[in-house]
A and B are shown apart, each in its own frame.
Chain A
């Protein structure tokens, strides 16, 4: 055999090998890289995107359609007073380091998340827990201080996953969970690799390996997908490119909905936005459809309140703030700003904010409001707007599920302080009856919509571009997750 044919057959071998392995591996791109790998100790969505369900699991979990089903708990009983939840855990569940997952781990995880020095980003999820008791190794009882109709839902969040005391110290760089994939490697700034967990307690994953890549630049994202460097891009950053992928038989485009209410947030404590007439004027001065068309190229559902339209409890309140610049000018005059005013409009990096901001600034100019745009990076935005509350207007998508409760926190960055609404939320949290809850939620949505707390723009769509032949990716994003456990390649 000549040198050349040897080389050739070697490369043919290598080629067939890579084709064969392509059926059981996947490279998924997302926009943002997680700052650390501890879903119970970091607020960044990207942590959950990579690890939720893949590496970490909770007592309950979200499915692709947003429903909450059993996770590590195979069943549960709720006491008649709604205060005690007794969870029966799956038998034979082990963490990736070989240690057993039992009731002690559940107690540890919940106690850690709700402790005073907890760094959990969603401590509110655990606020009602009074006590966690280990009944036997596979049974744990959680006692609440007051009934909470959302408790099983809360336990499905990425922030409520079960972790082990044995591996907690290094969780931020070496996450050890119970999921269908084990964490293998994280090359910061480039990629994160997962391998199939061969001793998984449930239905094992079809994929053997999975690689996450982090590409935030829209142009690079387009190139990476076009060149087939990645098999799927979840949360593709440039909606204007989607029609091209749709027309290309190599790709499939899934446009799903998210829990992301995209709003024009107003600083409710800062004059002139402390005046409801001004807030109403701003809301009426905005033409949602042109923002959806101009910034998102048509992808997005208009909303009239801070609630996801695909939720059964959603109330359509768009009519409260139908585009009406003439009325907006009258309202401004009524509020004493006949000549308009000048404010700031601070925009984080995503294109819905940057492009939407330019459109909104132009629409506000029409009614006499000058919004001075400043473009911020995420870190600056968190510091100045979210923590510093130094802003007049901002645009951001609130992607947490069922997060209308943020309006009950007067310290939250848009600083809406309405005791009636806070009482309403307290009642809601203490209510478990579904019909009463729906009515309360409708009240809550109507209150913030009629108080024009923020300008409600649209529900963010999440476009996923994937290679044809890839099945089982989530269409919608009920929580930030790229769940690969059910993903398969078709022949």
Chain B
């Protein structure tokens, strides 16, 4: 296992751990504001200081991690659950009109800048975490559809697929039993990368007020709230900013490392 996997996995696990811990424990209750205690620097009572409403920033980061991860996981989930079957279907019916329809449809979604679509969707249906998930999920679909089709096409040419066909298996069964297991590694790697993009997209949407709504904690909104406070209380902006950076960095390192580790060609070359 490479160093990037180790660092990436550690960072990711730390944030996953914080998010999991927040279900049973946070140092302070962020729902009740303590305004006389606002904008305290990090100290022994509030390890990461307090924000403009006197809320404990560590607790906010923990709950914000939960929001970010939940949004990103569900958004990637939408992408995989819709994108992969579409890609497999296109690969199974390669060259047909259906294949064309699916892939050109994907191109259409791909052609729009993803964040612009997300802003459009949340602007039409109203800002909420659910709509952010749907918005981010929609632009994950073509990523997985293209990737799975591209990965599946060469496998369809392989001899064992021919054998399966001769044995009378339908395209559907071949896709599920033979193609899918062979592209899973690739999907995991891509999933990790999309996961980090999802975290970024959630933070961006929350930053402009279109993501999770208060009182739900969100890193992007913490940043937006701290925007005018940077000169008097820099920690209010630095801490959520660092959280986003570290989480995304961790996921990218993990994804990179996993690709090297799981890719059979590189693995063979290494041995």
Contact = CB atoms under 8 A, between A and B. Distances in A.
Interface in A370-408: 372-375
A352 interface: no
A244 B231 contact: yes
B52 A359 contact: no
A362 B215 contact: yes
B228 A240 contact: yes
Nearest to B128: A374
A219 B213 CA distance: 21
Interface string A352-371: 00010111011101100000
A115 interface: no
B178 interface: no
Interface string B225-237: 0011101100000
Contacts of B264: none
Interface in B135-187: none
A238 B36 contact: no
Interface residues of B, number: 20
Name the prevailing secondary structure of the B interface residues: loop
Interface string B1-43: 0000000000000000000000000000001110110100000
Given A222-B228, A244-B231, A244-B232, A358 B214 contact: yes
A361 B214 contact: yes
Interface string B116-130: 000000000011000
Given A361-B214, A374-B126, A375-B213, A294 B52 contact: yes
B32 A359 contact: no
B35 A218 contact: no
Contact of A219 (B36, B126, B228): B228
Contacts of B214: 357-358, 361, 373
A437 to B, nearest CB: 39
Nearest to A359: B33
A241 interface: yes
B47 interface: no
A252 interface: no
Interface in A319-360: 355, 357-359
Contacts of B32: 362, 366
B126 A358 contact: no
A293 B231 contact: no
B209 interface: yes
A290 interface: yes
Given A240-B52, A294-B52, A374-B127, A362 B228 contact: no
Contacts of B209: 375
A384 to B, nearest CB: 11
A188 to B, nearest CB: 23
Name the prevailing secondary structure of the A interface residues: helix
A258 B53 CA distance: 25
Contacts of A290: 33, 35
A294 B33 contact: yes
Given A240-B232, A375-B213, A362 B33 contact: yes
B36 A293 contact: yes
Interface string A239-258: 01101100000000000000
B227 A218 contact: yes
B53 A373 contact: no
Contacts of A361: 214-215
B30 to A, nearest CB: 9
Contacts of A294: 33, 35, 38, 52-54
A355 B36 contact: no
A452 B215 CA distance: 26
A222 to B, nearest CB: 6
A244 B36 CA distance: 20
The listed residue with most A CB atoms (<10 A of its CB), out of B32, B53, B209, B227, is: B53
Interface string B201-213: 0000000010001
A67 B228 CA distance: 36
Nearest to B216: A373
A366 B213 CA distance: 19
Nearest to B209: A375
B131 to A, nearest CB: 12
Contact of A374 (B38, B213, B215, B232): B213
Contacts of A374: 126-127, 213
Contacts of A219: 227-228
Nearest to A347: B214
A367 to B, nearest CB: 12
B14 to A, nearest CB: 28
A241 B227 contact: no
Contacts of B31: 362, 365
Contacts of B33: 290, 294, 358-359, 362-363
24 contacts: A218-B228, A219-B228, A222-B228, A240-B229, A243-B232, A244-B232, A293-B36, A294-B38, A294-B52, A355-B53, A357-B214, A358-B53, A358-B214, A359-B33, A361-B214, A361-B215, A362-B31, A362-B53, A365-B31, A365-B215, A373-B213, A374-B127, A374-B213, A375-B209
Interface of A: 218-219, 222, 238, 240-241, 243-244, 290, 293-294, 355, 357-359, 361-363, 365-366, 372-375
Q: Which 4 A-B pairs have the closest CB atoms?
A: A238-B228, A294-B35, A290-B35, A218-B228
